[in-house]
C-alpha cells in the first residue's frame, strides 16, 4: 500500500511541484491549501490529487484536516510543511498584524501540522518530515524581518525535532530554496528581480521541480540516515561553510 504524503500549500508554486513529484514517486498525496479555491480545483482536475482546505495557522483546523486525510487515505507517513506567506515592509513601517500573520502561518504551522501526526509516526516507527525554509531565513533580507525570522525558526525547529525523533525511525529535514520562478517571485518588480538574478552564480531563477526533487529524495526510505539537515538549493547565491 502506498505511503500517504501531505503537502501544505500544495496546489501552487513549489508545493504544486512537490505534490506532483511525490505522486509520480508512488505516494498517495493530499494537497492542503488555504484560500484560492479556483486554483485548488484546477490543480485537482489537472493532477488527480485530492485537495483539502484548512488554515495551517490554526491548530484545531490542522487536527481536523489531518484526521480527514487519514480517514480518506490512511495514516500520514510523509509531511511536507511548505505553506507560507509574505507581508513585506521595512521594520519601522511593519505593523503588528504583518508580523503576526507571517509568524502564524510560516512558523506556528510547524507545531500545528507536526503535532497531530507525530504520535502515529512514533507508534509505527517511521516518518518523514520535510520543512521548507528559505535562503532569506539563512542570510536575512531587507524588508522581511518577519519572513526571515519565521524561516530561520523553521531551521531551529527542524534540528531540535530531528534529535527527538531519530531513534523512532523519523527523519526531520529542511530544504531552503533560493529564488524560484513562482507567483511569489513574479510579484517582485522587474528591476529588483534582475538585480537578484545577477547575484545568482548559475545565472537564473530556480525551477519548482528542482526543489521538488530535493523533497522527494528526503521523503524516501533511502534517505533514512539524513536528519536534522538543511539542503540549500539556491544556485550558489548563498553558500554555508
Find the CATH number of the domain harbouring 127: 3.40.50.720
Q: Is the confidence at residue 184, as pLDDT, over 80? A: no
Query: Residue 115 and residue 36: Cα distance in Å, rounded?
Result: 25
Confidence of residue 186 (pLDDT cuts 50, 70, 90): confident
Query: Residue 210 and residue 233: Cα distance in Å, rounded?
Result: 8
Answer whether residue 238 is part of any domain: no
Range of the domain at 53: 4-233
Answer whether residue 190 is part of any domain: yes
Span 101-121, mean pLDDT? Answer: 98
Question: Which pLDDT score, from 0 to 100, does residue 192 have?
Answer: 86
Report the share of the chain in percent with pLDDT over 70: 100
Each residue's pLDDT tens digit, 14-73: 999 999 999 999 999 999 999 999 999 999 999 999 999 999 999 999 999 999 999 999
As a dihedral over the C-alpha atoms of residue 190, residue 202, residue 132, residue 108, rounded to 10 degrees, the angle is -50
Query: Residue 234 and residue 179: Cα distance in Å, rounded?
Result: 7
Answer whether residue 202 is part of any domain: yes
Number of domains into which the chain is organized: 1
Answer whether residue 187 is part of any domain: yes
Answer whether residue 239 is part of any domain: no
Answer whether residue 139 is part of any domain: yes
Catalytic one among 27, 33, 126, 147?
A: 147
Tell me, yes or no, if 126 is annotated catalytic. Answer: no
Answer whether residue 61 is part of any domain: yes
Amino acid at each position: 500500500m502506498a505511503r500517504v504524503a501531505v503537502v501544505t500549500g500544495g496546489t501552487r508554486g513549489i508545493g504544486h511541484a512537490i505534490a506532483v513529484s511525490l505522486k509520480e514517486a508512488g505516494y498517495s498525496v493530499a494537497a492542503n491549501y488555504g484560500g484560492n479555491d479556483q486554483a485548488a480545483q484546477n490543480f485537482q482536475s489537472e493532477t488527480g490529487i485530492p485537495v483539502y482546505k484548512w488554515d495551517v495557522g490554526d491548530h484545531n483546523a490542522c487536527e481536523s484536516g489531518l484526521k480527514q486525510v487519514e480517514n480518506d487515505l490512511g495514516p500520514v507517513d510523509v509531511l511536507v510543511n511548505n505553506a507560507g506567506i509574505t507581508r513585506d515592509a521595512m521594520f519601522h513601517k511593519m505593523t503588528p498584524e504583518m508580523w503576526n500573520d507571517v509568524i502564524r502561518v510560516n512558523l506556528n504551522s510547524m507545531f500545528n501540522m507536526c503535532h497531530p501526526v507525530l504520535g502515529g509516526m512514533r507508534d509505527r516507527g517511521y516518518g518523514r518530515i520535510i520543512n521548507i525554509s528559505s535562503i532569506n531565513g539563512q542570510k536575512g533580507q531587507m524588508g522581511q524581518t518577519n519572513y526571515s525570522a519565521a524561516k530561520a525558526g523553521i531551521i531551529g525547529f527542524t534540528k531540535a525535532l530531528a534529535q527527538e525523533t531519530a531513534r523512532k525511525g523519523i527523519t526531520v529535514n529542511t530544504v531552503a530554496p533560493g529564488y524560484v520562478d513562482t507567483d511569489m517571485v513574479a510579484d517582485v518588480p522587474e528591476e529588483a528581480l534582475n538585480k537578484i538574478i545577477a547575484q545568482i552564480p548559475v545565472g537564473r531563477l530556480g525551477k519548482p521541480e528542482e526543489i521538488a526533487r530535493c523533497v522527494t529524495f528526503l521523503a524516501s526510505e533511502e534517505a533514512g540516515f539524513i536528519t536534522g539537515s538543511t539542503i540549500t538549493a539556491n544556485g550558489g547565491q548563498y553558500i554555508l561553510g
